[in-house]
Amino acid sequence: MRITSDFDKLSFHDAGIAKIVREDGCILISIEGAFISSDHPQAGEKDWVVESGTLKLLGVISEEAKYWDDTKAAREHPQPEMPLDEIMHASLENDVFHFDGFRGSVPWFEWFVTAQGFALEVIAANEKNS
């Protein structure tokens, strides 16, 4: 399954990031544990848990990673090549993908990627039982 629309009907809450690769204007994110809502037009009216897949951010224009160690201001990320390894929230607004969550069980990291689109390539998924 390849999903290229309706990012808001995907959930990456508690999804793990196994690897991030940057190549040819794209960022390839190996994802474990994403969720596809039955409301998504490609879900076949079923809820799916993506056991493994690749989220491709296409036509990347820029990216920025931040680290919060207090509530006053974000700091420069100590390892921007791997901004986080567990996603708590993911959103897309005005071509900016915003991910936040943990890195090595330490909170709070943010990653902003401005890109022209996305494709979620599902490698393995299971229907979620209610």
> How confident is the model over 34-91, as pLDDT tens digits?
999 999 999 989 999 999 999 999 999 999 999 988 777 788 888 989 999 999 999 9
Distances (CA, A) of 78 to 15, 67, 109: 22, 8, 10
Mean pLDDT across the chain: 93
What pLDDT score does 111 carry?
Answer: 97
Token code pair at residue 125:
């998924």
What pLDDT score does 75 carry?
Answer: 84
Q: Give the whole-angstrom CA distance, residue 12 versus residue 15.
A: 5
What pLDDT score does 76 carry?
Answer: 83
What pLDDT score does 35 carry?
Answer: 95
Distances (CA, A) of 4 to 1, 118, 122: 10, 6, 11
What pLDDT score does 130 carry?
Answer: 58
Residue 7 backbone phi and psi in degrees, to 5: -55, -30
What pLDDT score does 49 carry?
Answer: 94
Q: Which residues contact 60 (CB under 8 A, 6 or more apart)?
A: 22, 25, 26, 27, 113, 114, 115, 116
